Structure 1
């Protein structure tokens, strides 16, 4: 039945579109770019918050959303966790072996080998079931940023690290948190020196394998950091309440003010960030040439949005994907397209409106 409805919808689309004048695409400028909606007649694309995006070795995109985990193969979206759980998902990772890890809010971590799922929770030793971030270190350990601290999984068991107000330490008591403690770990990275960085809603911590130190600049700790990365040159980027910062190993430089969200470096060395501006949320790009200076020039603003912009990813084809409050968007270098699911009634209504406006 669905195939017949989709075929009929496609025939109507062809009929309506061929009777309309071609529409101009929105061109890239250094100000705000309007988005052009690309609609799919399917119930399988996310229509609410998309927190993170990952591309696997086969080119599939994986989206962690409040509706589940979605896989996009370039043609269609599939909700792979629909029949598994109703949990909201915040994080997704493909590990070095090609397995997928999905971090949920309230239901722990789901491991997917392409055939079956395995669920890890506090009953298995995970510190907390609200999993905000996932990271694989150079040794192949999988780290989970959760509320209350972080868990490291070596393939057999969990090793936990707990935030206690202004400190972070390894837990030797085998404790787990059934409730949601303060100070979740928003991001984890291992830098080129082998040190681990933990961005939390409280302090930012650096772990050398023996102990944790609070990361500071001029004696002031970096707090409420939501995202951090290490770029190709070894600089550490941090984004949060105090804006966007770059740390070169000696000095921290404030690149922009205002609340900073996610940070991403593309293959050309440009830094993409989501941040809050006076006109709403913006997706901004600092090109590699401007970043060679101590202070970056004004970035190129790709999109302004009323709501928050979450995870950012450069796909294999060079397009930039990012999650929002109402689904996922793609920037192809010229236009910003949205992927939105519609009911059949909404779909045919849109077609009729389009015909009337031709």
Structure 2
């Protein structure tokens, strides 16, 4: 099979197409013939040499989410059949013509969604459910501030929070991006290049603040986040693009009984991710295509993964970037 590999840590140009053996599914795994794969920030970090793959994933083939057709099964796989079309969360290896996935981390293609577009779903939907709904324990009626509202995570979080009875406020980097976020259901979008999000959130909420913050930025966002959380509010970190060190007011944390938490999903055990998959299937998948939809910015042939990474790093995109195997184009 053909696979996009990281030839050495570095810039997008280190991605190369090579021939590799088709993997064989182990117990509780399925082999997927990949139609498309999603691009995510962890892929960029891995390519740079700072986010190594776990031991059970290919060391040099990135890719955390795919869509495609099951072509083989390992022992003890009962729910899925050869020929089933699925999307799946994987620990790596998605930038290839074939990849093995834990059966528990596969989901059927949602009603009304194409097989290609379904590749955009697993990583962001698993991440948002894990952090907002499981860890932060979202309740209907709560207000969630989502930083990076036009990112893949952002457009997913807006739709999931809104569909589940919450209110989403977002930050984004341009007027265009803010408009897209509001069209997806955000009640307020703040252009962080023109406005101070702390001031605007407090102004918009009549000084009440928000219940939950989903933050992938870190750094100097830390103290502002603490200042705009309601009593018993929850700050959930999923990345730290502006730095892992932040100075916060601990007295405010104690006074308002705030929770500061976060997670990384990739190293979690299969059973943990399998439970997220079941919650998505029960609560979110029935909401396609009326209340939730994929937001795809563009799709590249697998051989142009370098360009896809360049686009991801430019942050010019809105929503998801996909790679598609050329035989399916």
Q: TM-score, normalised by structure 2?
A: 0.27
Say which structure is richer in strand: 1
Q: TM-score, normalised by structure 1?
A: 0.26
Larger Cα Rg: Structure 1 or Structure 2? Answer: 1
Say which structure is richer in helix: 2
